């Protein structure tokens, strides 16, 4: 079958109509452009008045411009811009701003800046006891967020925001002498952009920073590819000193800085309702100093993070393909936080195998002073897994392990970890002050060998402090999990998980300063001693009982037995042993254990029942020994002089309770 051909042709009349239509549209467009060009300053004035009206109505803020004009078709020139909230310090003052916008996006109501030139002025965030010049803008923004929160996908809105911000980056930027100020009561920081230039895809900047009694000069350089959503920036100091972050020292007494910082944004994409960001951050000679972190400055020579960050509708995570490198130590992290349907926290850290000496050398300097100079052979790797559900914190997971491979200590370095094996001098400290020094060994008349201490006392201390001491390797994971749950529920530190091994390390090798570094150091030294069998368990327990504090300036079980009962430690009874074990967490408050009649308070019944029950369960005491066991000891040593006995005994003695956290293990 032959298909007929179809011929389409325009009649002369149709051609004429189309031509007229095109000419008409072109003429209208031309007239519109000409009209806009002729009346562009009036349009600009109208737009500025609209902004002025909105700021005054919605934010009670004055907006003024000394001079405003348009240059060319899309260029704007403004001078003397002021934005000042009512009854507050000026928020923005700009001396001169020139910019131009892209024409075609403008026709679609999408303002994209093509060129920006700013000279002089400041942007200021000011907060005093009575005024705040920016809070009204934040409150209004938060109110709008709350209204739309249920309908907003956090990942999607985040992607849109990033995309919008990057699309606003002009191709040509010049900024000179623009100050960014922060005033927080008595704290003042001034960040001045002396010069910042973005030409094409490269930028360079020079900055002056005044704050925290420091005057610094920084320089930055990098690249920007807004359309591809990637770029890089390098920041360093042009002075002899490193980059010191201002404000923090005055605000929270924290000093931190670095020699150089480089950040690379590799990829940003939105896929399957998830925002994924990949990048690299590297810093050299990073340092931080704060009294809660360490007594000394803490530093890391080289640190790098190659990260993959994901933001979902109800979660934030760092992918396990990410890499964190501290000097030569390489760690693969995984972190995830979910806020719905329940709050959950998950952490996983797995380090690669590394030579033992490189492992120790890669740790932050200033946090592990006791292992300086330690020399070892073999390899190490670290592994941590933790999980917590807000609805069931008691069923949390926590496993931490430092694995060794043919590991052997060749030299202890600055601190002799084997000194526990021989007699040594010991000086206890209180609030940073030395109390007195005594010998831990036969030359001290109060030193009591383990086999000369009452089994009741040894077992009571084990039951109250660390029942599995002779079986664990320095740490009890179940105790740590319970500590995590207790502290999470209380929203503060209420319970520790220290073993006798950790307490011994803290007393012998470390200061009593309550800083983060001391805890890390305590854990590492405990691992070294316990997992390398540097000291026998029996010797560790013997030293522990002979150095811990049992009362005001009373150290060791030899002194304690005489101070309270005028006895040798071998003569202590079950009653006396349970009492002594119960005061270990707070030895200076032993007087609070006694009532006005000179006898132990009734609330100690639960303590006696708890400890004696554990002793029977572990077959460290006979059941018949605990029948009718009640708190009842007679002080015969000097301790009785510390107890105030009154003739009048309150009728409600039984209502006197122990401190709320009496049974919590203390650090």
How many Å apart are CA 402 and CA 400, to the nearest integer? 7
**pTM across the whole model:** 0.82
The residue ranking higher by pLDDT, 141 or 158, is 158
The residue ranking higher by pLDDT, 626 or 476, is 476
Q: Given a cut of 60, is residue 641 above it in pLDDT? A: yes
How many Å apart are CA 123 and CA 225, to the nearest integer? 26
Q: Which of 161-170, 449-458, 485-494 has the lowest mean pLDDT?
A: 161-170
- Residue identified by tokens 């811009």 is 81
* 276-321: pLDDT as tens digits: 999 999 999 999 999 889 888 999 999 999 999 999 888 999 999 9
Both tokens assigned to 346? 């998950």
pLDDT of the residue at 653: 37
**Do 269 and 276 touch, CB atoms closer than 8 A?**
yes
Number of other CB atoms surrounding residue 462 within 10 Å? 21
Q: Which of 343, 352, 330 is nearest to 393 (CA)?
A: 343
What's the average model confidence in pLDDT over 613-633?
87
What's the average model confidence in pLDDT over 623-636?
87
* 180-234: pLDDT as tens digits: 999 888 889 999 999 999 998 899 999 999 988 889 999 999 998 888 888 999 9
Task: Kindly report the average pLDDT of the chain as a whole number.
Answer: 85
Q: Which of 545, 531, 553 is nearest to 577 (CA)?
A: 545
User: Please, which pLDDT band fits residue 624 given cuts at 50, 70 and 90?
Assistant: confident
User: Please, which pLDDT band fits residue 11 given cuts at 50, 70 and 90?
Assistant: low
pLDDT of the residue at 652: 39
pLDDT of the residue at 139: 67
Q: To the nearest whole percent, how much of the chain has pLDDT over 90? A: 53
Binning the chain into helix, strand and coil, the percentages to the nearest 5 are: 35, 35, 30
How many residues are given for the chain?
667
* 643-661: pLDDT as tens digits: 877 654 443 333 333 443 4
* 360-395: pLDDT as tens digits: 999 999 889 888 899 999 999 999 999 999 999 999
pLDDT of the residue at 584: 92
Both tokens assigned to 627? 């029948």
User: Please, which pLDDT band fits residue 110 given cuts at 50, 70 and 90?
Assistant: low
pLDDT of the residue at 659: 40
* 113-140: pLDDT as tens digits: 778 899 999 999 988 877 888 887 876 5
User: Please, which pLDDT band fits residue 665 given cuts at 50, 70 and 90?
Assistant: very low
Q: Which of 9-13, 450-454, 521-525 has the lowest mean pLDDT?
A: 9-13
pLDDT of the residue at 140: 56
What's the average model confidence in pLDDT over 612-634?
88
DSSP string, 286-346: EEEE-TTT-SS-EEEEEEEEEEEEEE-SSEEEE-TT-EEEETTEEEEEEEEEE-SSS-EEE
- How distant, in Å, are the alpha carbons of 107, 152, 209, 238, 282 from that of 215? 47, 44, 6, 12, 25
How many Å apart are CA 323 and CA 330, to the nearest integer? 7
Maximal CA-CA distance, the chain: 129
Q: Given a cut of 70, is residue 19 above it in pLDDT? A: no
Q: Strand 75-85 and strand 424-426: pairing?
A: unpaired
How many Å apart are CA 544 and CA 461, to the nearest integer? 10
Q: What is the C-alpha end-to-end distance of the chain, expressed in Å?
A: 98
What's the average model confidence in pLDDT over 495-504?
90
**Do 79 and 66 touch, CB atoms closer than 8 A?**
yes
Helix (H) or strand (E) holding 387: strand 375-389
pLDDT of the residue at 458: 96
- How distant, in Å, are the alpha carbons of 128, 303, 504, 514, 517 from that of 292? 27, 22, 22, 7, 8
* 473-491: pLDDT as tens digits: 999 999 999 999 999 998 8
pLDDT of the residue at 379: 97
DSSP string, 429-464: EETTEE---EEESTTSTT---GGGS-HHHHHHHHHH
* 542-553: pLDDT as tens digits: 999 999 999 988
Helix (H, G, I), strand (E, B) or coil at 631: coil
* 144-157: pLDDT as tens digits: 554 444 445 678 87
Sign of CA dihedral 291, 297, 300, 304: positive
Q: To the nearest whole percent, how much of the chain has pLDDT over 70? A: 87
Sign of CA dihedral 621, 622, 623, 624: negative
pLDDT of the residue at 149: 47
Q: Given a cut of 70, is residue 5 above it in pLDDT? A: no
Q: What are phi and psi of 196, to 5 degrees?
A: -145, 120
* 587-606: pLDDT as tens digits: 888 888 888 888 888 888 98
């Amino acid at each position: 079958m032959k298909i007929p051909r179809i011929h389409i042709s325009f009649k002369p009349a149709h051609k004429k109509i189309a031509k007229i239509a095109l000419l008409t549209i072109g003429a209208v467009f031309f007239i519109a452009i000409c009209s806009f060009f002729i009346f562009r300053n009036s349009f600009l004035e109208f737009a500025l008045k609209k902004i002025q009206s909105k700021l005054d109505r919605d934010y009670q803020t004055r907006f003024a411009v000394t001079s405003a004009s348009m240059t060319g078709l899309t260029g704007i020139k403004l001078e003397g811009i002021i934005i000042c909230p009512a009854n507050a310090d000026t928020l923005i003052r700009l001396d001169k701003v020139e910019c131009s916008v892209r024409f075609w996006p403008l026709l679609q109501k999408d303002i994209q800046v093509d060129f920006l030139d700013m000279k002089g002025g400041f942007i200021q965030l000011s907060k005093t006891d009575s005024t705040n010049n920016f809070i009204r803008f934040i409150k209004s923004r938060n109110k709008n967020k709350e209204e739309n929160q249920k309908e907003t996908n956090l990942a999607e809105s985040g992607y849109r925001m990033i995309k919008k911000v990057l699309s606003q980056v002009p191709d040509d930027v010049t900024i000179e002498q623009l100050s960014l100020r922060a005033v927080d009561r008595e704290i003042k920081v001034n960040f001045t952009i002396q010069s910042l230039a973005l030409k094409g895809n490269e930028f360079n900047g020079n900055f002056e920073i005044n704050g925290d009694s420091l005057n610094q000069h920084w320089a930055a350089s990098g690249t920007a590819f807004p359309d591809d959503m990637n770029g890089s920036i390098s920041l360093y100091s042009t002075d002899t000193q490193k980059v010191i972050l201002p404000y923090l020292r005055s605000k929270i007494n924290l000093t931190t800085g670095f020699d150089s910082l480089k950040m690379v944004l590799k990829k940003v994409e939105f896929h399957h309702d998830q925002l994924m960001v990949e990048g690299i951050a590297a810093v050299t000679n990073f340092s931080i100093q704060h009294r809660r972190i360490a007594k000394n400055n803490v530093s890391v020579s080289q640190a790098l993070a190659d990260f993959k960050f994901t933001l979902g509708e109800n979660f934030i995570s760092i992918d396990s393909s990410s890499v964190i490198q501290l000097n030569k130590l390489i760690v693969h992290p995984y972190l995830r936080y979910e806020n719905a349907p329940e709050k959950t926290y998950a952490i996983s850290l797995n380090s690669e195998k590394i030579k033992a000496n490189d492992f120790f050398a890669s740790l932050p300097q200033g946090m592990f002073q006791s292992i300086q100079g330690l020399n070892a052979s073999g390899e190490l790797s670290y592994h941590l897994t933790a999980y917590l559900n807000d609805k069931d914190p008691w069923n949390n997971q926590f496993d931490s392990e430092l694995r060794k491979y043919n590991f052997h200590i060749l030299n202890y370095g600055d601190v002799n970890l084997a000194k526990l094996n021989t007699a040594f001098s010991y000086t206890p400290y209180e609030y940073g002050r030395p109390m007195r020094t005594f010998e831990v060994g036969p030359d001290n008349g109060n030193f009591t060998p383990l086999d000369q201490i009452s089994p009741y006392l040894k077992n009571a201390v084990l039951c109250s402090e660390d029942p599995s001491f002779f079986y664990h390797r320095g740490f009890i994971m179940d105790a740590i999990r319970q500590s995590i749950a207790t502290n999470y529920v209380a929203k503060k530190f209420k319970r520790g998980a220290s073993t006798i091994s950790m307490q011994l390390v803290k007393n012998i090798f470390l200061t009593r300063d309550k800083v983060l570094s001391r805890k890390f150091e305590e854990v590492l030294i405990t691992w070294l001693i316990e997992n390398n069998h540097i000291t026998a368990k029996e010797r560790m327990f013997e030293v522990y009982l002979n150095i811990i504090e049992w009362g005001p300036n009373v150290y060791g079980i030899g002194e304690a037995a005489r101070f309270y009962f005028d006895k040798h430690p071998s003569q202590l009874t079950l009653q006396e042993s349970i009492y002594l074990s119960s005061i270990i967490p707070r030895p200076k408050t032993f007087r609070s254990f006694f009532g006005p009649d000179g006898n132990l308070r009734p609330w100690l019944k639960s303590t006696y029942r708890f400890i004696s029950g554990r002793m029977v369960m572990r077959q460290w005491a006979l059941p018949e020994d605990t029948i009718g066991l009640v708190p009842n000891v007679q002080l015969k040593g000097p301790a009785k002089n510390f107890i105030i006995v009154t003739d009048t005994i309150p009728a409600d003695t039984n209502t006197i309770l122990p401190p709320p956290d009496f049974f919590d293990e203390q650090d």
